[in-house]
Amino acid sequence: MYRSHTNGELRIENANQEVTLAGWVQKSRDKGFMVWVDLRDRYGITQLIFDEDRTAKEILDKAKTLGREFVIQVKGTVIEREAKNKNIPTGEIEVLVKELIILNEANLPPFTIEDETDGGEDIRMKYRYLDIRRNPVKNNLIFRSKVAQEVRNYLSNQDFIEVETPYLIKSTPEGARDFVVPSRMNQGEFYALPQSPQTFKQLLMVGGMDKYFQIVKCFRDEDLRADRQPEFTQIDCELAFVDQEDILNIFEGMTRHLLQKVNNITIGDFPRMTYEHAMKTYGNDKPDIRFGMEFGELNSVAQQKEFKVFNDAELVVGIAVPGAANYTRKEIDKLIEWVKRPQVGALGMVYVKCNEDGTFKSSVDKFYNQEDLAAWAKATGAKAGDLICVLSGPANKTRAQLSALRMELAERLGLRKPTEFAPLWVVDFPLLEWDEESERFHAMHHPFTSPKPEDMPLLDTDPGKVRANAYDLVLNGNEIGGGSIRIHDKETQALMFKHLGFTPEEAKEQFGFLMNAFEYGAPPHGGLAFGLDRLVAILGGQETIRDFIAFPKNNSGRDVMINAPAEVTAEVLSDLNINVTIPKA
């Protein structure tokens, strides 16, 4: 027992108790005749006091030698503080020290162990074990643990069984790139690390497990975009004998449970929105609905005049930016520059200021009169004081551009409040999407996703219009989960493969053993998967997943702390029967 109490535990009620504490020296103040030390551990900070009247000289002298981040153990008496600190729970007391043991010295850390540190990202990642001592990182990890445990509590109470699926599986040619693992015992052969347990969870349904979940690491060897990790964590779920409605209800319940338990927020029924509606209204299949700025389509009111740009466009669409009518010319020009950045790609932007006096001032006054612009304001819901931003062009591209602008403006206007939560379901995703390159339809989700029965006839006439029983759970503009009802009967599956351009032989080759399994009595089933890293970050009011991962990798897939990946010895390669084909650096 190195301690009788943690450093977050003592209160005024403990006054006069003899206690033993241990922890790190957060900071010390040496007044000569008196030394104060803030002693820190995971649970909090307790102030220690050494003084020449009440502490033995050699202890006081030793206290003067303590450096930041030294690990110490003290015995002493809890006393009431003269100057109380209302900011910390232990702020009413301090510990008058009688014994001091230095358990371990510490080099000066390369950055300050404070909430606001002086260390940049790179140095903090290299010394991540010191970064974790800082409250923001530590609290994120504790928060993550709590979210995971609450997920398990909820699903276990709903009769879900957590089943561990294998990590050493088989590489599949489709989809994203696998990480592969050479097998020493099976020469020339490789395992693959799972991109998700999709196949195994469907097999568990064939196996009658009925309700499965797993919190599981998945792996994807992609060129890393910002805030993607080569290894990431999924809450993976699958259920048998359910339809879409059952799944939405259960996982809406889970999300509500999490919001209640970890954020102390009660949320009612989640709105449901079709994919089509989301795209038309927000230009995005994961809309942030914490704020308005819904799209107003202006074709009917903007294409009757001489403005060729709009007349030639497939879509003219605008949003009303609340209270932005007073933007200066310079501010608006900057906005126009912003939408013209290659990442957004608009060719320009038309704007209308809705003046407080009810008049309008636009960048296209040459073509449109006040009545025209009033119609625009009506279509976009703009009120006096708002700024209407209008983009035009091909429908899909223009929607995506306006969506980017909408999110950017919401961010600037402080409308994306991290403590406000607005979940919704986006449903009725298209079953198929056209691939320009191969000039055929591909499954948007995967080839086992079930089409909506009522849309089946469209498969022959207008495949792009067929909707799937596929759904995403969206929270504050982020997709936090998604899934689908799977096809479980041979006839639909055969039809599906036909429309995806597979011969029966090709289908067998690519999806062989899952299709085999389906021959032995597959139940109706479906499921979904949540991205735990993102879910935790968003519940934690942040969007950077790296801040919620204990030991993340950088954008080159490196762990800079342990310096991985690294070269391996010739002996290792020889055991595995592989060669590296590039010369050593």
Instruction: Give binding residues as ranges.
Output: 174, 220-222, 229, 445, 479, 486, 531-534
Q: In this structure, are residues 470 and 445 in contact, taking their beta carbons and an 8 Å threshold?
A: yes
Q: Pick the stretch among 11-19, 146-154, 298-306, 445-453 that binds its own copies (CB under 8 A).
A: 146-154
Q: Which of residues 14-73 bind its own copies (CB under 8 A)?
A: 22-24, 40-43, 69-71
Which is closer to its own copies, CB of 217 or CB of 417? 217
Range 126-130 contact pairs with CB under 8 angstroms and sequence separation of 24 or more: 126/560, 126/561, 127/561, 128/550, 128/551, 128/561, 129/561, 130/69
Which CB, 16 or 563, lies closer to its own copies? 563
- For the CB of residue 94, give the shortest distance to its own copies in the complex, in Å: 20
Q: Does 547 bind its own copies (CB under 8 A)?
A: no
Task: Please report whether residue 556 would count as binding its own copies according to CB under 8 A.
Answer: yes
Radius of gyration for the alpha carbons in the chain, expressed in angstroms and rounded = 30
Residue 338 interacts with its own copies (CB under 8 A): yes or no: no
Which one of 170, 228, 290, 397 is in contact with its own copies (CB under 8 A)? 170
Does the protein bind its own copies through residue 545 (CB under 8 A)? no
User: How far, in Å, are 263, 389, 423 from residue 420 at the CA level?
Assistant: 10, 26, 10
Among 189, 276, 294, 547, interactor with its own copies by CB under 8 A: 189
CB of residue 572 vs its own copies: minimum separation in angstroms?
Answer: 7
Of residues 69-128, those binding its own copies (CB under 8 A): 69-71, 103-107, 109, 127-128
508-537 positions binding its own copies, by CB under 8 A: 513, 517-524
- The DSSP 8-state label assigned to residue 265 in this structure reads -
**Residue 451 pairs with which residues in a beta bridge?**
468
Residues 206-225 that bind its own copies (CB under 8 A): 206-211, 217, 219, 221, 223-224
Pick between residue 343 and residue 581 the one whose CB is nearest to its own copies: 581
The b/e string for 285-296 (b: 16+ C-beta within 10 A; e otherwise) is: bbbbbebebbbb
Q: How big is the site for its own copies, counted in residues (CB under 8 A)?
A: 128
Tell me which of 31, 82, 86, 173 binds its own copies, using CB under 8 A.
173
Nearer CB in complex with its own copies: 4/542 = 4
Touching its own copies, residues 393-412 (CB under 8 A)? none
Of the pair 245, 439, the CB lying nearest its own copies is at: 245
Of the candidate residues 55, 199, 244, 449, the single one contacting its own copies (CB under 8 A): 199
Return binding residues for ATP: 220-222, 229, 479, 531-534
**Residue whose CB is less far from its own copies, 103 or 456:** 103
Q: Distance (Å, rounded) from C-alpha 485 to C-alpha 242?
A: 8
* Nearest distance from C-beta of residue 468 to its own copies, angstroms: 19
Full DSSP string of 317-351: EEEEETT-TT--HHHHHHHHHHHHSTTT--S--EE
Contact positions with its own copies (CB under 8 A) in 275-334: none
**Tokens coding 473:** 């759970």
The answer to the question of residue 419 lying near its own copies (CB under 8 A) is no
- Residues 474-493 close enough to bind its own copies by CB under 8 A: 488-490
Residue with smaller CB distance to its own copies, 145 or 503: 145
* Among positions 78, 95, 125, 130, the unique one binding its own copies when judged by CB under 8 A: 130
Pick one of 89, 182, 385, 541: the residue that binds its own copies (CB under 8 A): 182
Order of strands, sheet of 360-362, starting from the edge strand that comes earlier in the sequence = 296-297, 315-321, 387-393, 350-354, 360-362
Choice between 159 and 357, CB closer to its own copies: 159
Q: Does 233 bind its own copies (CB under 8 A)?
A: yes
Q: Which of 333, 456, 551, 570 binds its own copies (CB under 8 A)?
A: 551
Pairing of strands 190-192, 180-182: antiparallel
Q: Is residue 192 near its own copies by the rule CB under 8 A?
A: yes
d(CA 389, CA 403): 11
The contacts of residue 34 (CB under 8 Å, 6+ apart) are 49, 50, 51, 52
Buried b (16+ CB within 10 A) or exposed e, 37-75: bbbbbeebbbbbbbeeeebeeebbebbeebeebbbbbbb
Does 148 sit near its own copies (CB under 8 A)? Answer: yes
Residue 572 near its own copies by CB under 8 A: yes
Q: Rounded CA gap, 134 and 123, in Å?
A: 14
In whole angstroms, give the CA distance from residue 171 to residue 178.
6
How near is the Cβ of 333 to its own copies at its closest, in Å?
A: 40
Those residues with Cβ within 8 angstroms of residue 261's Cβ, 6 or more apart along the chain or in another chain:
146, 150
- Of residues 330, 339, 375, the one with CA closest to residue 354: 375
Q: Using the minimum distance from each CB to its own copies, give the nearer residue, 67 or 271.
A: 67
Q: Which of 176, 347, 456, 550 binds its own copies (CB under 8 A)?
A: 550
Contact 570, 159 (CB under 8 A): no
184 lines the binding site for its own copies (CB under 8 A): yes
Q: Which of 33, 61, 84, 142 binds its own copies (CB under 8 A)?
A: 142
212 or 351: CB nearest its own copies:
212
Closest residue by Cα to residue 523 from 96, 208, 238: 208
Shortest distance, position 26 Cβ to its own copies, whole Å = 11
Pick out the residues of the known binding site for L-aspartate.
Answer: 174, 220, 445, 486
Using DSSP's 3-state secondary structure scheme, residue 91 falls into coil
Name residue 93's amino acid: I
ω before 565 within 30° of 0 (cis)? yes
Site for its own copies contains 448 (CB under 8 A): no
Q: How far is the CB of 535 from its own copies (least distance, A)?
A: 14
